[in-house]
């Protein structure tokens, strides 16, 4: 049997995920302009939770629904989309008036390492700052500790082990920008 080469763009893209197709069609400037927003429509919410599930639950054979917890209604949710494809998500909730927690950070594999995780995290931190919290905490998977450390989070101790194998590290950050700290003495 003779194999035909996939010469057209459409044929090449048929082998890629929707998110990879989106990024392949974007310029660097267009990528830099992507910004975080709150999911608004039913379709956006479905897509938001689907990315969470695909990145944070599916690889461990966890069912749909396992990507949600009892705090969704009280939390602040952000997503980055391009051409209606969800590329990155993250969530912030309050543990107390003084403490906010970041959870469920996930970036589509085709886009990891292109600044989207940082954009989501910084926008969640801005939200925490606007609520006047004194600290932001999170439980980082081992693979993400370097990412959070780069954003100013410090390790405060070991965290839970999820699904019997994913070890977490507890991390913490003072959301007050250092320059403001210095000015206020």
Ligand X SMILES: CC(C)(COP(=O)(O)OP(=O)(O)OC[C@H]1O[C@@H](n2cnc3c(N)ncnc32)[C@H](O)[C@@H]1OP(=O)(O)O)[C@@H](O)C(=O)NCCC(=O)NCCS
Q: Which residues of this chain interact with ligand X, rule CB under 6 A?
A: 55, 105-107, 112-118, 140-141, 143-144, 146-147, 150
Q: From residue 4, give the alpha-carbon distance in Å to each of 7, 11, 12, 13.
A: 8, 11, 12, 15
CB of 170 to ligand X, least distance (A): 11
CB of 145 vs ligand X, minimal distance in Å? 7
Beta carbon nearer to ligand X, 5 or 28: 28
Nearer to ligand X, 146 or 185 (CB): 146
Residue nearest to ligand X (CB): 117
Query: 101 or 140: whose CB is closer to ligand X?
Result: 140
Cβ at position 99, least distance to ligand X in Å: 17
Rounded to a whole number of angstroms, the minimum distance from the CB of residue 93 to ligand X is: 15
2 or 158: CB nearest ligand X: 158
């Amino acid at each position: 049997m003779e194999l035909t080469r996939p010469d057209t763009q459409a044929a090449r893209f048929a082998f890629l995920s929707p998110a990879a197709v989106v990024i392949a069609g974007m310029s660097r400037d267009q990528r830099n302009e992507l910004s975080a927003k709150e999911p608004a429509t039913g379709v956006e919410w479905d897509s938001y939770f689907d990315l969470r599930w695909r990145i944070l639950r599916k690889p461990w054979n966890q069912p749909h629904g396992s990507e949600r917890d009892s705090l969704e209604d009280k939390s602040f949710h952000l997503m980055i989309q391009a051409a209606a494809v969800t590329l990155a998500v993250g969530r912030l909730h309050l543990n107390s008036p003084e403490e906010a927690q970041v959870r469920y950070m996930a970036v589509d594999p085709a886009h990891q390492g292109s600044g989207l995780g940082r954009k989501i995290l910084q926008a969640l931190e801005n939200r925490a700052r606007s609520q006047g919290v004194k600290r932001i905490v999170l439980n980082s998977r081992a693979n993400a500790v370097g990412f959070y450390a780069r954003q100013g989070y410090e390790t405060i101790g070991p965290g839970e082990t999820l699904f019997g194998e994913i070890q977490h590290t507890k991390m913490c950050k003072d959301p007050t920008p250092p320059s403001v700290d210095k000015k206020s003495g």
